[in-house]
Each structure stands twice: as C-alpha cells, then as structure tokens.
Amino acid sequence: MTGVQAKAKHPSGRHARRLQMGERVVMRHGLERQFWQDLFHQCMTMSWPGFLLGWAGLFLVFNLAFSIFYHFAPGCVANLNPPGYLGAFFFSVETIATVGYGDMHPATPYGHAVAAVEIFVGMTGLALVTGLMFARFSRPTARFLFAKVVVVRPMDGQTVLMCRAANARENVVMEASAQLRLIRDSLNAEGYRFRRVEDLKLIRSEHPLFVLGWSLMHVIDASSPLAGETAASLDAARAVINLTLSGTDETTGQVLMARHAYPASAIRWDHGFADILFPGEDGVDHVDYSRFHEVEPLPSRRAGDRA
C-alpha cells in the first residue's frame, strides 16, 4: 500500500495533510508537524536526486553565507585570488571541505575565527551526510513484483482468490512468508462504523526458496470473510486487499519486506492469470514476465456474469 503525503487547506483555514493509500485518499487534521521535527525520516524517504540536490543546495548556501563574512573584512584572507567576493567564496569552499591548498589562508585573528567555525560546520556536515548515505545504501530494499490485479476463480472444486508475486531481483529469498488481509468499512450491532481488518487464510503462506514466482491462494468458503461478497458489495465497503511479503535475502542476510494493496476495482471475477511458465524446445523451462500482469476470462464463464 503506497502512501503519498501532501499539504492541503482545511475549510476552516487550518492546514491538513493529504494521505493517499492506493486509490483511497484521507485528509488528516490536527497534526502540526514541522519539517525539522522528523528530518532523518525526510532524508531517508526522499528520492536520491532530491537527497543529493538538497545537500548540494545546503553546501552552496553555507559557502555563500561564510564568504560574506570574509568579504566584508578585507585583508582577513591572505593571497585572495581572484580578489573580491568570488575569491572569498572559493576560499570558503576550500575551508568547509578542509582541503587547505595553502595559497589562500587566514591572515588575521578574525579570519582564523571565521575559518574555525566554518571547519566545524564542514566536518559536522560531512559526518551527517556520510551517516545518511550509509543508512540509505545499507537499507534493505525488496524488488518484489506484484500483479496489478487479483483474480477469483474456481480451483479444484473450490472458489479461490488468487494473487501473483515474483522476485524481480532473481536471487534467493529464504523462508519467505505472506500475509493477506481484507480491510473494509463495517457497521456493528450498535450502529458504530469502523474500518475492519480481517485475515484471509492462505493455502500456503510460506515459501522456502522464493526465486521466480509465487501464486498465493485463499479459499472462499463459508468461513472466509469474502463469503457471499460481490464486486458491488466490496466496492460499497471501500474494500482493500492488502498483501505483505517478507523474507531473508540469501546474499546479504537482511530481512526484505514489501506490500501491495488491491482495491475492489482490481479484483477480476471468473478470470485466471495468463500462464508465464512454459518449456522450451531445448528442454529448458522459460518464464515470460512480460505476461505477468495479464489475465484471461475463464472459458466456461464469461466475464461479467458475476455481479
């Protein structure tokens, strides 16, 4: 379930945050959060281009600011080249990076004091960006591929809900596990409306070696939360089927996790997934991921027969 946040304006004039979870949009009010209160999370979740551009922007701002201090105290930097503000800027860059070529150097107590402050800022900033980049690079990321839709079809005399997943990295994910849950609006006996989370039991919820693909199936019987449900009833309840996968990367030993949400509109009744595994003439099995998201109506029943 992908979450996207944005700021919006509440009718009362107060700011609200827009949270998008799949196709569902929720406006959150009353949570006043400043950017600086969760800076580490912001740095970890922003894109790589945004992260690098942000640090480049801070580097430029700090050097522009410190060069002003040098520029308005003529003579505080010896051998300033080129003369004027541009030379002060280049000296600031050399100082904050602790390069120290030796040609330009502080020449007065004032210059030494400003350089000392700038060196402290530069070393602190370098330590911070090094730690953040290490955290971003070392964070385990899964490349699990989820089919864009789920299907409901008969299987071995039973009606099953079927999801399809694959390991796009093509390495071994050991002891993979899956959890499937139905999230929908519900009304209890007292008339209280709430968002109910119900487990959808999988026929097989664990995979010892998740390498290629994995078809996850839930039997829709009398005990299933989906018993008696239709496309219309699930849509009215704003139902979402949430699939979570986790496992251990054999290469790094890190735990990988990924999730995907399917709204009611992504359920294909009386359809089946296109076959992606077929034997070749050379006797080698082939997997065609270009058909991974494709579904086909079952030959025995036409699409749309079920409401």
- Element of type H or E holding 71: helix 48-71
pLDDT averaged per 10 residues, the chain (length 307): 47 61 67 69 86 93 95 92 93 90 90 94 91 87 92 94 91 93 87 89 94 93 94 93 94 90 94 88 83 88 47
Could you confirm whether domain 34-138 is CATH 3.40.630.30? no
Name, in order, each residue with C-beta under 8 angstroms of 200's C-beta and a sequence gap of 6 or more. Answer: 161, 180, 181, 182, 218, 224, 225, 226, 241
Q: What is the DSSP string of 163-195?
A: EEEEETT-S-EEEEEEEEEEEEEEE-TTS-EEE
> Exposed, middle or buried: residue 26 (CB in 10 Å: 0-12, 13-18, 19+)?
exposed
CATH number of 144-297: 2.60.40.1400
CA distance 251 to 247: 12
Give the count of beta carbons closer than 10 Å to the beta carbon of residue 293.
15
Q: b/e for 75-112, b at 16 or more Cβ within 10 A?
A: ebbeebeeeeeebbbbbbbbbbbeeeeeebbbeeeebe
Output the pLDDT for position 280: 77
Amino acid 20: pLDDT:
64
Residue 99, both tokens:
């390069």
Q: From the CB of residue 235, how many other CB atoms can be counted at a distance below 10 Å? A: 13
> Cβ–Cβ contacts within 10 Å for residue 271, how many?
20
Tokens of 297: 């109506």
CA distance 221 to 21: 29
Domain with CATH 1.10.287.70 in the chain: 34-138
Question: What are the C-alpha distances in Å from 115 to residues 17, 74, 79, 99, 295?
Answer: 42, 15, 15, 12, 66
Q: Which DSSP letter does residue 38 get?
A: G
CA distance 108 to 104: 12
Q: What is the per-residue pLDDT for 5? A: 47
Q: What is the structure's pLDDT at 301?
A: 54
- The tokens describing 190, both together, are 């007292």
Q: Two tokens at 27?
A: 């406006």
SS3 254: coil
Q: Where in the chain is the domain with CATH 2.60.40.1400?
A: 144-297
Q: Give residue for tokens 């509109």.
A: 265
> 130 — alpha (psi -120 to 50), left (phi > 0) or beta?
alpha
Pair 196, 239: CB distance under 8 Å = no
Rounded CA gap, 181 and 307, in Å? 22
According to DSSP H, which parts of 85-108 are helical? 85-96
